[in-house]
Amino acid sequence: MLNPDLGLNGWIFARLFSSFAALMTTFSKWVSCWGNATSITDRKESTYARDLTLRYPIRMCFSGSKIRLRFSNLTGTEPVTLTSVAVSLLRNNECAPTNSRHLTFIGNAEGLIPPGEEILSDELPLSIEAGETLIVSIYLGEFTQMNAGTLITGPLSKGQYAYGNFADEAVLPRDLTRNTNWFYFLNTIDIFTEADNYALICFGDSITAQSWPDYLSIRAVEEDCKHVAVIRRAVSGTRILRQYDCITYQAYGLKGTTRFPIEIDSVSGARAVIIQHGINDIIHPVGEADNCFRPWSDLPTVRDLCDGVEQLYINHARARGLSVWSGTLLPILGWRTYLPMRETMRQQFNEWLRSSSLFDGCVDFDQAVRDAADPRAFAPGFDSGDHLHPSEQAYAAMAATVPLALLR
């Protein structure tokens, strides 16, 4: 779409200059520029979909010459067929995406994902400039088990779905479309890009599945940190040491020993990981008298948590050549299962996260959002209302406390 402020000649010059600059840039490696975890979706009466288009707009933080997309059926129990996957670019100053292209999978238009597995698309040559939006449209033509996906929120995390095959349409029909924050099957986007570019992984639970990684991506742009992609690997309700095997709580995802290797190893070009995980291990157990699925025997000791982080997370990340940063756990005063002993555990675990020489550094999220007058609670305006999850203002504060060195 022509930008009226430039005029025809100015617009032509801008596009030619942009194309020339892209030609002069050397692209030499694959780097993940967007990523999400895959978990078990909420188990409800309806778990299948048919004749459905999923659409996810993804802001591309890097320029590059080709892409490949990873799709996951990690938590599915049946094969999933991606009938077609189309991508298009929403370029700067344009109102709708253009030039829809189709991905292939080992040369085939359809992508078949076996249960418990992930697949990678064929490489697709596509000239992309940093700041453009890649529109990913997935069409599911046959009955499909919708059991592999993750709920994420934030200013950059929006999706849509529409009944019918609209994968190649520039705009979805308004009367058949709804917004969604469930990201099904789409797991990672890699771009062939410059050698200086790298990925920063944010690993955690619902705190990280919500907005602070998006605000960190926005901050990177605002502070002219051009070489970093923030990759979110987060699933609400997850714990380090245990997972639920009942359908009531299956959506709380896989335990850390299962999640971490899969989610870390599939990130191309990663340099560092921030781990903010463990609060659910502390707050979930309530005793079988109150909930048969949450026995007190599930409650770990602080030593258990520390050992779990070291053995399950740090050792694996080090083996992958990553620097490892801890993220402290946030206040919980007022949460429905709050007990003084849980607060003591949180404080002791946080002290280890701050002081352990096993980490390259600590991102002190707790200090960024807690009330100076009562460190057990969120600062005024920083509580979402449930006394566990931060407000949007607090998520922005969390992003602001990440050391600039991790973004450069």
State the SS3 of 208-234: HHCCHHHHHHHHHHHCCCCCEEEEEEE
Q: What is the pLDDT along the chain (408 residues), one digit of tens a residue?
A: 434 444 545 544 555 455 555 555 799 999 999 999 999 888 776 789 999 999 999 999 999 999 999 999 999 999 999 999 999 998 766 666 668 999 999 999 999 999 999 999 999 999 999 999 999 999 999 999 999 999 999 999 999 999 999 999 999 999 999 999 999 999 999 999 999 999 999 999 999 999 999 999 999 999 999 999 999 999 999 999 999 989 899 889 999 989 999 999 999 999 999 999 999 999 999 999 999 999 999 999 999 999 999 999 999 999 999 999 999 999 999 999 999 999 999 999 999 999 999 999 999 999 999 999 999 999 999 999 999 999 999 999 999 999 999 999
Nearest by Cα to 91 from 130, 124, 65: 130
Predicted local distance difference test score (pLDDT) of residue 272: 98
Phi-psi region of 250 (alpha: psi -120 to 50; beta: other; left: phi over 0): alpha
Q: pTM for this structure?
A: 0.92
304-333 b/e with 16+ CB inside 10 Å = b?
ebbebbeebbbebbeeeebbbbbbbbbbbb
Amino acid at 150: T
Torsion of CA 41, 44, 50, 53, to 10 degrees: -50
Predicted local distance difference test score (pLDDT) of residue 11: 45
Residue 318 is encoded by which pair of tokens?
A: 């080090």
Helix (H) or strand (E) holding 68: strand 64-72
3-state secondary structure of 67: strand
Q: What is the 3-state secondary structure (H, E, C) of 280-323?
A: HHHHCCCCCCCCCCCCHHHCCCHHHHHHHHHHHHHHHHHHCCCE
Predicted local distance difference test score (pLDDT) of residue 2: 39
Predicted local distance difference test score (pLDDT) of residue 23: 53
| CATH superfamily of domain region 196-407 | SGNH hydrolase (3.40.50.1110)
Nearest by Cα to 389 from 241, 236, 244: 236
Strand 98-102 with 124-128, pairing: unpaired
The answer to whether the CB of 209 falls within 8 A of the CB of 152 is yes
No. of H helices and E strands in the chain?
10, 23
CA distances from 233 to 10, 177, 203, 259, 260 (A): 42, 27, 5, 9, 9
The three-point CA angle 79-84-89 to 5° equals: 130
Domain ranges within the chain, ordered by starting residue: 27-188, 196-407
Report the alpha-carbon distance of residue 107 to residue 167 in Å, rounded: 19
Helix (H) or strand (E) holding 351: helix 340-355
Predicted local distance difference test score (pLDDT) of residue 34: 98
Helix residue ranges per DSSP H, 170-275: 206-209, 212-222, 256-265
The answer to whether the CB of 81 falls within 8 A of the CB of 45 is no
